[in-house]
Amino acid sequence: MLSTNPEKAVCRYHSIKGAANALFVSSPTISVSIRELEKEFHLQLFHHNQNRISLTKEGEAFYQKAETLLKMQKDMYTEFSEMAWQTQPLKIGIPPLISTVFFPRMADSFHEVSDIPIQLFEYGSNRAQHLVSTGKLDLALVNMDFYNIDQFESRTLMEDSYSLCVSRTHPLAQSKSVTLDMLKDQRLIFFNTDSVQNLTFQSRFHALGIDPFILMHCSQLYTTLNFVRGGNCAALLFSSLAVNPRDFRMIPIEPKITNRFGIIWKKGTYIPLRTAKFIKFAETYDISPYIG
């Protein structure tokens, strides 16, 4: 099938040379393409003047019909390509702890209104944003305070602050609030090293000249709370995480330290329909009941 791109370019530039330059081909290539097309349909499609080329009446009708057919071809390709994409799972990265606050219900609610399959991968925000940028993840739920957030498209979903989680027998258990300098001699549990939380607190402690005693980097709430339950260590957790008040106390950190959370996806690329549907769903999903 003879491509109509050369003819479209000629119509746009009114010049064989201009069309050739735009398509990075030689002028004879454009001329041959036009002659072959006119020969195939037994029509004169262009008026050839000395410095300008223009459509004949028949050429104008041919051009309009060709535009319609090309648009139909493009729409058909997009439609059936999207059908193929719909059968592929949407790959979403989720952070180990904050995703437990609302994402399970969010994923379930999405499945109620869509048959698009989802695959979830647990990564810290720094690792997840790299996988989104390389196309290995379609989307990621992340802590949006990492340094190069502007390199991604994003939507903020929530904001959360940090608290110190201690057992009821911990020396700080009766404190109404704590400051970071009060934690300089405490055994602390941080998130995994690929998390934004880890970088956030490392930089805050460093600014105060404090080298924190990090007992463990952990991504699992169950494991973290089992260590804290013993009474001789504390964990820096998001305030919205659900912990049993009979066993633990969540003590606000002053001054307050907050992070924003949301979804990110690759900037400057085509967004498949399945990805766009999830983004639109996430923008309207009410997470307020889960963050108190």
Tens of pLDDT, residue by residue over 222-262, are 999 999 998 789 999 999 888 899 999 999 999 999 989 99
- AA letter at 41: F
Residue 4 has pLDDT above 60, yes or no: no
Residue 31: per-residue pLDDT: 83
Residue 7 has pLDDT above 50, yes or no: yes
Which among 44, 73, 102 is the end of a domain?
73
Residue 154 lies in a domain: yes
- Summary mean pLDDT of the chain: 86
Residue 52: per-residue pLDDT: 79
H helices of 53-195, in order, are 57-86, 99-113, 125-133
Both tokens of residue 168?
């009821």
Both tokens of residue 288?
């307020």
Both tokens of residue 216?
């463990």
User: Same domain for 31 and 147?
Assistant: no
User: Same domain for 245 and 168?
Assistant: yes
Give 253's strand partners. Answer: 178
Residue 9 lies in a domain: yes
Total count of domains within the chain: 3
User: Same domain for 150 and 103?
Assistant: yes
Residue 198: per-residue pLDDT: 87
User: Same domain for 186 and 221?
Assistant: yes
User: Same domain for 209 and 243?
Assistant: yes
User: Same domain for 62 and 95?
Assistant: no
Residue 83 lies in a domain: no
- AA letter at 76: M
User: Same domain for 265 and 242?
Assistant: no
User: Same domain for 197 and 228?
Assistant: yes
Cα–Cα dist 84/199, whole Å: 40
In CATH, what number is assigned to the domain containing residue 58? 1.10.10.10
Residue 119 lies in a domain: yes
Residue 174 has pLDDT above 80, yes or no: yes
Question: What's the Rg (C-alpha) of the chain?
Answer: 30
Cα–Cα dist 259/219, whole Å: 17
User: Same domain for 52 and 180?
Assistant: no
Residue 3: per-residue pLDDT: 44
Residue 194 lies in a domain: yes
With beta carbons less than 8 A apart as the criterion, state whether 176 and 251 touch: yes
Residue 246 lies in a domain: yes
User: Same domain for 123 and 172?
Assistant: no
Residue 84 lies in a domain: no
User: Same domain for 94 and 68?
Assistant: no
With beta carbons less than 8 A apart as the criterion, state whether 153 and 248 touch: no
Residue 136: which domain range? 90-158+260-291
In CATH, what number is assigned to the domain containing residue 168? 3.40.190.290
More confident residue, 105 or 70: 105
User: Same domain for 166 and 231?
Assistant: yes
Residue 22 lies in a domain: yes
Cα–Cα dist 174/251, whole Å: 9
The reported pTM is: 0.65
Question: Residue 132: which region, alpha, beta or left (left: phi > 0; alpha: psi -120 to 50)?
Answer: alpha
1-10, 100-109, 282-291: range with highest mean pLDDT: 100-109
